[in-house]
């Protein structure tokens, strides 16, 4: 049985969504952020030493890091669904999106969150951070021009992985100039599997 270690209001929401899209049986083990620090509780380190979420267990081992989990679920349990054929250029695109989300696009958004907490002291860093956010959101917005999904004509793990970038950007009020991202996110939110995952995951207020 696949077990998802789900931290409230976190990246593990996209793993619940992924599992709902694949209609796989799974269990949720819930972990609660510390109300003051927003950090994960120490017991998550018993699942994997980093103590981060998402982490899943399956077949007696832990798999961590969102993109690796998405890739694992699709390869091991997808039966050909939600990823292009590995021999096609579409698969290369799919892999690039999987890596790009946390490898590049998330960084300026995280920096924005932390530097904003510094108040005035963080001011000198903000123009550079805003410039990078615009660079990444502009790129994603252009990639979605005239497209329903990031790769091909149907939902893939790339959309699931990249959705969190859009979630965070929206929570930080950064989507006004990026209508393709905003529309794509809205369509993802309309999917029955998304709604089921949200119901199972509980509160999902990002940006705090
Ligand atoms: N790049 C990792 C990030 C994992 C991560 O930082 N998760 C956050 C939740 S969104 C976390 O566990 N935060 C609590 C903490 O750091 O204690 C992934 O995508 O899995």
Whether 48 lines ligand 1, by a CB cut-off of 6 Å, is: no
Residue 155: count of CB within 10 angstroms of its CB: 23
Q: pTM here?
A: 0.97
- Ligand 1 contacts CB of residue 52 (under 6 A): yes
Strand order, beta sheet including 61-64? 26-31, 2-7, 55-58, 61-64
For residue 53, the ligand 1 atom closest to its alpha carbon is: 12
Q: Is the Cβ–Cβ distance between 149 and 156 less than 8 Å?
A: yes
| Atom of ligand 1 minimally distant from the CA of 102 | 1
Strands 26-31 and 2-7: parallel
Q: How far apart are CA 47 and CA 64, in angstroms?
A: 10
> How high is the pLDDT of residue 208?
62
List of E strands, the chain: 2-7, 26-31, 55-58, 61-64
- What are 1-58's pLDDT values in tens digits? 999 999 999 999 999 999 999 999 999 999 999 999 999 999 999 999 999 999 999 9
Is any ligand 1 atom within 6 A of the Cβ of residue 161?
no
Mean pLDDT of the chain: 97
């Amino acid at each position: 049985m696949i077990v998802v270690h789900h931290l409230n209001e976190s990246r593990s929401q996209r793993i619940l969504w992924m599992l709902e899209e694949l209609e796989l049986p799974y269990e949720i083990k819930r972990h609660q952020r510390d109300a003051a620090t927003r950090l994960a509780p120490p017991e998550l380190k018993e699942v994997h030493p980093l103590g981060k979420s998402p982490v899943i267990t399956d077949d007696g081992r832990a798999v961590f890091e969102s993109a690796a989990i998405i890739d694992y679920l699709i390869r091991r349990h997808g039966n050909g669904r939600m990823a292009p054929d590995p021999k096609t250029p579409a698969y290369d695109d799919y892999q690039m999106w999987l890596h790009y989300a946390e490898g590049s696009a998330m960084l300026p958004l995280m920096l924005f969150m932390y530097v904003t907490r510094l108040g005035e002291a963080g001011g000198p860093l903000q123009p550079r951070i805003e410039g990078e956010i615009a660079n990444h959101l502009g790129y994603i917005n252009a990639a979605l021009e005239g497209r329903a999904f990031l790769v091909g004509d149907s939902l893939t793990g790339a959309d699931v992985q990249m959705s969190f970038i859009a979630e965070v950007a929206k929570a930080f009020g950064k989507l006004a100039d990026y209508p393709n991202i905003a529309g794509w996110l809205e369509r993802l939110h309309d999917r029955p599997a998304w709604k089921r995952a949200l119901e199972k995951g509980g509160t999902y207020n990002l940006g705090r």
